[in-house]
Amino acid sequence: MKLLGNAPGPDAIPDAEKVFADFARELTGFDDIDSEIVSLNLALLRRNKGLIGDIDALLDRYARLAGQTASDDTDARILPLKVDETSLGLIKQVLYLFYAGALRVDGHWRRCGWRRHETALVWKALRTHPPMTRGGGEFGDWAKHPQAEDLPETGKAKHRDPAIA
């Protein structure tokens, strides 16, 4: 019996996002994950099935385990999913996406947008705000050389070390 899928059917769970949200909460240990991020992350994982694995198949297995285990037995739902390298790799991708706002593809990090950076769970885990999310400017503006109008009115910066101009 197929529990999840892209096309609705008589055996499909009506809300795959709810199953994904439950899975993400159990996997990350955070109960208050933004529902918009859950939707965005599920859509991203589905679009990249060929690169990182079939999230719907993993969620199908998770939903089956959830139906067979006590609600407080997270290990009984998560540990059996780690049976092969493909599933384990996909679980890691879900963790990367929620904690870092990025995916690891072919040995390289791929950032997945500003909203995911801003809501990445790493900031909540570290009890800090995400860098470059406060004040003026835009994402990545730190990498650009400052313009004259951005410099303080006092002129050249004064350095204590004469070797620094």
d(CA 111, CA 140) in angstroms, rounded, equals 12
Please tell me the predicted confidence (pLDDT) of residue 75.
Answer: 87
Distances (CA, A) of 114 to 31, 68, 117, 133: 22, 38, 5, 9
Mean pLDDT for all residues in the chain: 81
d(CA 100, CA 28) in angstroms, rounded, equals 12
Take residue 79 and report the two structure tokens written for it.
């540990």
Q: Which of 109, 130, 141 is nearest to 34 (CA)?
A: 130
For the cut 60, the answer to whether the pLDDT of residue 157 exceeds it is no
Please tell me the predicted confidence (pLDDT) of residue 69.
Answer: 85
Take residue 147 and report the two structure tokens written for it.
């313009």
Length of the chain: 165
For the cut 90, the answer to whether the pLDDT of residue 147 exceeds it is no
d(CA 34, CA 144) in angstroms, rounded, equals 31
